[in-house]
Amino acid sequence: MDAGRLREELRRYLSRAGPAEGRSAYRELGVSQPAFSRLAGSMRDELLVVGRGRSTRYAARRSILDVGRSVPVHEVAEDGRSRCLAVLHAVLPRGYFVEARSKDVESGFHDDLPWFLDDLRPAGFLGRLVPRRHPELRLPEDIRLWPGDQCVNYLSRLGWSSVGSLVVGDLAIRLHVEYGLNPRDVVPKDRAGELYPSMADDVMACGPPGSSAGGEQPKFLAARGPERTSVLVKFSPPVHEGEIGRRLADLLVCEHVAHQVLGEHGQPSCRSTLIEAGGRVFLEIERFDRIGASGRRGIVSLQALDAAFAGRLGSWTETASVLADRSVLGQPDLDRIRWLEWFGRFIGNSDMHGANLSFFLRGARVLGLAPAYDMLPMAYAPQHGQLLDRWTPPPHPAPPDAAAWREARIGATQFWSRVAARSDLSPAFRTIARENEGRLQSLARIERLLPGGP
């Protein structure tokens, strides 16, 4: 068989089988190992060859539209400096090879985006605005349908401000540097009440370029001066437009109260500020993945860790327990997660999915649990244009949960007490809060029956 025919046979084999060992490939072609080595050497531009000796694997390269065959992945440190963490190579029939450029990440093949890049996919309220705001990307309107290549296409061109510390592509890292030198969204602290209403109107109309933050609550990103502190600003509808707007404003106030109570109970949480302006309620939340004007901290969601290491798709504690058993998380993180989940149940947080819990990351190394966020009584959020005033008693704890259940109940009782006392909440929600405070106080009798109870 001539060399041209062998090259074509190898391309077809690798396009069908994916990354393969040399022995499998030359047996498939019916040639000797030396002949295969010469063949592979003649196809250096078409093949990705990784490993050494008998562990060497061969993959056929492919190209990502508007990106090319490979793209660097940069990491921005807390001081704003960046380094090349890895290079992402596209291979056939699908997926990528991560070529490590740092000890903080491992080289390897992935069927889709590597787990440490998964949270960079556009998501939530602002993510859905990307296709509308950037039709030049020629990407599907429904971001949930984007495969890995389309995400890389977006990230390498406009994803310079995605969550965490990772930036895909040289163009995106240049945009990050340009923003650090000349930020365009700095809001003087004393003008937030003046500027936030128009920023809310803008994002509701179309959305700012390049922004991507998960979650369904309407929001926008900004930098608060003069320190240029990066903030995520959630906002309610105009509260005068009806009970739906008032309820959503109540929930933002509740989220702010939850931040305070969590901090008082030794649970790191977001720092936030409430602002009423332009008929809306704004909750300004300091981003824990940003440091100063240009620094960043890496983060990864429980959802991404679950997909990569657990495959559990259970509750926070169920997934975290599997991750702790596999040494991805430590016992202190598991204990905190158990506490947070019980607190969330006690305050009616019905939206504790895997994207609402995150961990700090350096490269692809998990460092520990990040501050709590999106902790609010979502059971009372409007559904289909109707208000829901419902209380679902949390289940009785199993013995391993006894301590967390007891302490979280005390914290949640304080939460409802403070909510009931706030004058900036609607009378209807203050009534809900008083009722829930009483319900949690009545649960104290269960504590006497738990292991280690008083």
Would you name the residues annotated as active-site residues? 351
- Report the C-alpha gap between 82 and 206 in whole angstroms: 31
- Residue among 326, 330, 302, 325 nearest 315 (CA): 302
CB 59 within 8 A of CB 91: yes
35's enclosing H/E stretch is: helix 33-41
Residue 259: CB atoms within 10 Å: 24
**In Å, how far are 120, 275, 310, 316, 349 from 313, measured between CA atoms?**
20, 36, 8, 9, 18
Sign of the alpha-carbon torsion through 119, 124, 128, 134: negative
Residue ranges with strand state E in 101-228: 108-110, 166-168, 186-188, 219-225
Residue ranges with strand state E in 137-259: 166-168, 186-188, 219-225, 229-235
CB 94 within 8 A of CB 84: no
Q: How many residues does the chain have?
A: 454
- List the structure tokens of 26: 């030359």
- List the structure tokens of 294: 């240009």
* Side chain identity, residue 312: R
- Report the C-alpha gap between 275 and 194 in whole angstroms: 10
Residue 356: CB atoms within 10 Å: 20
Residue 446: CB atoms within 10 Å: 15
* Side chain identity, residue 246: R
To 10 degrees, the CA torsion angle through 365, 369, 372, 375?
A: 90
CB 237 within 8 A of CB 381: no
Residues whose CB falls within 8 Å of the CB of residue 396, separated by 6 or more in sequence, listed in order? 446
298's enclosing H/E stretch is: strand 298-301
Question: Token match 């089988």: residue?
Answer: 17
